[in-house]
């Protein structure tokens, strides 16, 4: 791999974007209405290639009649960080989202217990007990972890109705818009990012280790009948008993001759063929007899009937027709969407990448599941677009991002460690075809809107092949910043097992976040506050000097030191001391995220995810299209919302000013 450098095509793209933006500076009356399509992971370089090849005629039309350019993503380019930049006009120091994870230093653990950054659960208030049941008087509700004012609050203040659908980092919905449906950050009914259920007679399945994001259970089919249990909550919060799970049962009758089975789920009965997905089925979970229950919704997939009997069940969704969690504002908005387009995935990222990682779904089955999820979001958008009566509409599309994570490297990069020519030949058009689907939807929308409506298409980041995995904690050990106890052997699976905290100066939680073991902050802190900045600068120099022995190139090309590189200050201290910008093609390992320590610092990426974007943010820009030139320059996610509000004549929103510098690997 050649060294990263500013490529000619990138410089030309930036120059062209600047020219288009200067056209947008001409006098223009404010827009009356706006529709924004937020397409997660839409990659600038691939879009440019496909426009030039004539494959995206509607985006080409937007470039010709309006504008098109790269959109600088966030540091670090993780989706909740990037979308929070867009929502608030602030960087991480302002909105407080630096990673998917933060750590709780009150947990008593020396490293702080990791928790989801964008949504918190408030503890319940006072409670009374009766007959073995617990009745909280109030509290226990989820709380939005993102800080800052959402840009659509300014629309509301100006009397402009706003509908915001599936905006990431907006759970629970802030309620500033007229209608909101939460997106990334929304849990399943169990409170997790999404935990599926898989039942199999194949003993090789339920003997697997390192299974995450789901449960694998043995299935006993006796006289053609299988009885399964789906656990809604591991512990009933309304009882004093421990291990008092809330569950519901289902029964499957297997046909003795055909690859068909009959399902009974509560009062619902349906027949499925092997390889078939059900529509949404409701599950009732009784918490308090006759008084309290929760309703969830799942899809069943009858993977096979013979020789092995196998059933996959999606994570339990919050039922939009009877939501047990606050997924919409007002709550009736979720019901409206479900009544018109049918029940739908409500969890944050419905594409079940865990199922393919765990070997529960094969590639074709995973792609079918992503197609189902994608069609649901498209159907909702079409309904909202066709009934749009003015104001502002934002709709988010995430399926392309999740598909790209699984397929990008193995279908677009012959140098990827897991490149398979046969897989490439079969699926090389998969991602471009999804781009073409979005282009067709954009074309429909261009033909639908009137002259008083501006259409904007944007993405939060681009994509790259993920060839090499960097184990930050291992690097810290090898470079003397972390010390292991004498008896510790590698690898350490998670939670820093065997670390000697009395002799450790730094540690990493998350994909690219690094913390100092700071005295007075960490429970076992060793680094004096007065030595903090000098140590951070030393770590920066050492990381930037780290060479990948396979490529012969730097493994890290950008370091972000918290107070130096983030300009907003309101929530700066929430974040890590350093964020690592890995070289294009390299990403922090998944094992590192929860305190794992691998045997080697840099290894080939052998995970099912072959594409990613959590790298030096300059190498993975997103895109920005507008159906007419915007009056105000927008070069980054952080200043995009200010530009969109300016179209409505609103000028009092934070406006990041950092110019974009796109770096493309040759």
What is the C-alpha separation between 259 and 84, in angstroms, rounded?
A: 48
589 and 643, same domain (yes or no): no
Instruction: List C-alpha distances in Å: 282 to 38, 199, 248, 249, 279.
Output: 30, 19, 11, 12, 10
Condensed to tens digits (0 to 9), the pLDDT of residues 568-613 reads 989 999 999 999 999 999 999 999 999 999 999 999 999 889 999 9
What is the C-alpha separation between 286 and 284, in angstroms, rounded?
A: 6
Instruction: List C-alpha distances in Å: 73 to 40, 410, 553.
Output: 11, 24, 24
The reported pLDDT for the residue numbered 659 is 42
Q: Which of 459, 449, 649 is nearest to 35 (CA)?
A: 449
434 in a domain, yes or no? yes
The reported pLDDT for the residue numbered 657 is 52
Letter string b/e over residues 142-152, b meaning 16 or more CB atoms within 10 A of that residue's CB: bebbbbbbbbb
Answer yes or no: is pLDDT of 218 > 80.
yes
Condensed to tens digits (0 to 9), the pLDDT of residues 154-209 reads 999 999 999 999 999 999 999 999 999 999 999 999 999 999 999 999 988 877 76
Instruction: List C-alpha distances in Å: 347 to 121, 143, 639.
Output: 16, 16, 28
Torsion angle of C-alpha atoms 20, 23, 25, 31, degrees rounded to 10: -90
42 and 65, same domain (yes or no): yes
92 and 45, same domain (yes or no): yes
Contact, 204 vs 322, CB < 8 A?
A: no
74 in a domain, yes or no? yes
Classified as helix, coil or strand, 446 is helix
DSSP state for residue 30 in the 8-state scheme: P
What is the C-alpha separation between 575 and 99, in angstroms, rounded?
A: 8
Contact, 559 vs 581, CB < 8 A?
A: yes
The reported pLDDT for the residue numbered 478 is 98
Contact, 357 vs 210, CB < 8 A?
A: no
The reported pLDDT for the residue numbered 12 is 30
Q: Note down the domain range covering 390.
A: 1-97+150-184+382-464+624-666
Contact, 524 vs 516, CB < 8 A?
A: no
Q: Quote the strand ranges of 168-280, DSSP E.
A: 179-182, 196-200, 214-218, 225-233, 246-254, 260-265, 268-273, 276-277
∠ CA(240), CA(244), CA(246), 5° rounding?
Answer: 120
SS (H, E, C) 577-616: CEEEEECCCEEECCHHHHCCECCCCEEECCCCCCEECCCC
Taking each helix axis from N to C terminus, what angle separates 57-65 and 430-448, rounded to the nearest 10 degrees? Answer: 50
531 and 412, same domain (yes or no): no
645 and 540, same domain (yes or no): no
∠ CA(507), CA(512), CA(515), 5° rounding?
Answer: 30
Answer yes or no: is pLDDT of 513 > 80.
yes
286 in a domain, yes or no? no
Pairing type for strands 506-508 and 513-516 reads antiparallel
452 and 509, same domain (yes or no): no
Classified as helix, coil or strand, 206 is helix
Q: Which of 299, 309, 252, 303 is nearest to 275 (CA)?
A: 303
Condensed to tens digits (0 to 9), the pLDDT of residues 242-257 reads 778 899 999 999 999 9
171 and 31, same domain (yes or no): yes
Write the CATH number for 399: 3.40.720.10
Taking residues 77-81, report their average pLDDT: 96
DSSP labels for 270-336?
A: EEEETTEE---EEEEEEEETTTEEEEEEE-EEEEE-SSS-EEEE---EE-TTS-SS--EESTHHHHH
208 in a domain, yes or no? no
For residue 150, the Cα-to-chain-centroid distance in whole angstroms is 19
Beta bridge partners of 72: 636
What is the C-alpha separation between 569 and 91, in angstroms, rounded?
A: 9
∠ CA(233), CA(236), CA(239), 5° rounding?
Answer: 175
% of the chain exceeding 90 in pLDDT: 81
Q: Which of 478, 446, 399, 482 is nearest to 64 (CA)?
A: 446
Contact, 281 vs 297, CB < 8 A?
A: yes
∠ CA(429), CA(435), CA(439), 5° rounding?
Answer: 135
Q: How many structural domains compose the chain? A: 2
Condensed to tens digits (0 to 9), the pLDDT of residues 37-53 reads 999 999 999 999 999 99
Classified as helix, coil or strand, 492 is strand
% of the chain exceeding 70 in pLDDT: 90
Ramachandran area for residue 588 (φ above 0: left; ψ -120 to 50: alpha; else beta): beta
Pairing type for strands 246-254 and 33-39 reads unpaired
635 in a domain, yes or no? yes
Contact, 566 vs 88, CB < 8 A?
A: no
pLDDT-wise least confident of 226-240, 259-273, 477-491: 226-240
458 and 480, same domain (yes or no): no
Q: Which of 135, 198, 144 is nearest to 175 (CA)?
A: 144
498 and 593, same domain (yes or no): yes
531 in a domain, yes or no? yes
Condensed to tens digits (0 to 9), the pLDDT of residues 392-435 reads 999 999 999 999 999 999 999 999 999 989 989 999 999 999 99
Instruction: List C-alpha distances in Å: 71 to 125, 460, 618, 620.
Output: 44, 8, 10, 9
What is the C-alpha separation between 635 and 69, in angstroms, rounded?
A: 8
The reported pLDDT for the residue numbered 14 is 33
Condensed to tens digits (0 to 9), the pLDDT of residues 86-130 reads 999 999 999 999 999 899 898 889 999 888 899 887 655 445 444
Q: Quick one: the chain helix, strand, coil %, rounded to 5?
A: 30, 25, 45
The reported pLDDT for the residue numbered 30 is 67
487 in a domain, yes or no? yes
Contact, 188 vs 349, CB < 8 A?
A: no
Provide the whole-model pTM: 0.91
653 in a domain, yes or no? yes
Letter string b/e over residues 481-517, b meaning 16 or more CB atoms within 10 A of that residue's CB: bbbbeeeeeeebeeebeebebeebbbbbbbbbbbbbb
586 and 437, same domain (yes or no): no
Average per-residue pLDDT for the chain: 90
Instruction: Give the list of residues 6+ apart from residue 464 with CB closer than 8 angstroms, or none.
Output: 408, 584, 585, 611, 612, 613, 615, 619, 620, 665
Radius of gyration of the chain (CA): 25
460 and 511, same domain (yes or no): no
450 and 488, same domain (yes or no): no
DSSP state for residue 459 in the 8-state scheme: -
Contact, 75 vs 555, CB < 8 A?
A: no
């Amino acid at each position: 791999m050649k060294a990263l450098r500013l490529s000619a095509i990138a410089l030309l793209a930036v120059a062209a974007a600047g020219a288009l933006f200067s056209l947008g500076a001409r006098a223009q009356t404010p827009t009356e209405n706006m529709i924004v399509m937020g397409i997660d992971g839409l990659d600038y370089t691939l879009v440019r290639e496909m426009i030039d090849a004539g494959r995206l005629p509607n985006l080409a039309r937007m470039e010709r009649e309006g504008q098109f350019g790269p959109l600088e993503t966030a540091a670090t380019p993780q989706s909740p960080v990037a979308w929070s930049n867009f929502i608030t006009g602030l960087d991480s120091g302002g909105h407080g989202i630096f990673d998917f994870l933060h750590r709780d230093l009150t947990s008593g653990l020396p490293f702080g217990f990791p928790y989801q950054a964008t949504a918190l659960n408030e503890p319940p208030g006072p409670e009374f007990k009766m007959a073995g049941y617990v009745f909280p008087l109030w509290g226990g509700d989820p709380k939005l972890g993102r800080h800052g004012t959402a840009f659509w609050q300014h629309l509301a203040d100006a009397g402009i109705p706003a509908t915001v659908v599936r905006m990431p980092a907006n759970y629970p919905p802030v309620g500033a818009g007229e209608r909101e449906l939460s997106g990334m950050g929304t849990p399943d009914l169990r409170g997790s990012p999404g935990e599926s259920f898989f039942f199999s007679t194949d003993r090789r399945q339920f003997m697997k280790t390192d299974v995450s994001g789901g449960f694998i259970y043995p299935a006993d089919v006796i006289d053609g009948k299988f009885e399964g249990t789906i656990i809604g909550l591991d512990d009933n919060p309304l009882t004093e008993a421990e291990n008092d799970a809330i569950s519901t049962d289902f029964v499957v009758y297997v046909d003795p001759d055909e690859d068909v089975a009959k399902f009974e789920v509560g009062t619902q009965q349906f027949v499925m063929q092997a390889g078939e997905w059900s529509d949404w089925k409701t599950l009732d979970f009784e918490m308090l007899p006759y008084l309290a229950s929760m309703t969830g919704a799942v899809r069943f997939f009858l993977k096979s009937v013979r020789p092995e009997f196998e059933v996959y069940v999606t994570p339990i969704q919050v039922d939009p027709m009877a939501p047990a969690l606050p997924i919409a504002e007002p709550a009736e908005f979720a019901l409206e969407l479900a009544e018109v387009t049918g029940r739908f995935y409500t969890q944050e990222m419905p594409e079940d990448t865990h199922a393919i990682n765990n070997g529960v779904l094969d590639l074709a089955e995973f792609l079918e599941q992503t197609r189902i999820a994608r069609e649901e979001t498209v159907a909702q958008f079409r309904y909202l677009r066709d009934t749009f009566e003015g104001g502002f509409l934002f709709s988010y599309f995430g399926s392309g991002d999740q598909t790209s994570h699984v397929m990008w490297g193995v279908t677009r990069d012959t140098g990827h460690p897991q490149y398979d020519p046969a897989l490439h030949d079969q699926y090389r058009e998969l991602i471009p075809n999804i781009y073409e689907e979005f282009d067709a939807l954009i074309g429909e929308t261009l033909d639908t809107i009137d002259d008083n409506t501006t259409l904007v298409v944007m993405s939060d980041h681009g994509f790259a092949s993920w060839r090499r995995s960097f184990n930050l904690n291992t690097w810290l050990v090898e470079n003397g910043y972390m010390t292991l106890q004498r008896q510790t052997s590698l690898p350490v699976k998670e939670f820093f097992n065997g670390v000697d905290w009395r002799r450790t100066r730094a540690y990493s939680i998350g994909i690219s976040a690094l913390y100092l073991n700071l005295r007075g902050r960490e429970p076992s802190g060793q680094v004096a506050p007065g030595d903090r900045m000098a140590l951070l600068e030393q770590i920066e120099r050492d990381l930037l000097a780290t060479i990948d022995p396979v490529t012969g190139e730097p493994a890290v090309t950008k370091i972000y030191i918290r107070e130096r590189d983030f300009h907003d200050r309101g929530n700066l201290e929430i974040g890590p001391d350093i964020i690592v910008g890995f070289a294009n093609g390299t990403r922090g390992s998944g094992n590192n995220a929860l305190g794992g320590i691998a045997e080697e610092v840099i290894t080939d990426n052998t995970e099912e995810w072959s594409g990613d974007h959590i790298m030096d943010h300059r190498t993975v820009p997103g895109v920005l299209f507008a159906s007419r030139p915007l009056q105000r320059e927008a070069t980054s996610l952080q200043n995009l919302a200010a530009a969109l509000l300016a179209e409505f004549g609103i000028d009092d929103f934070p406006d990041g000013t950092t110019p974009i510098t796109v770096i493309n690997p040759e």
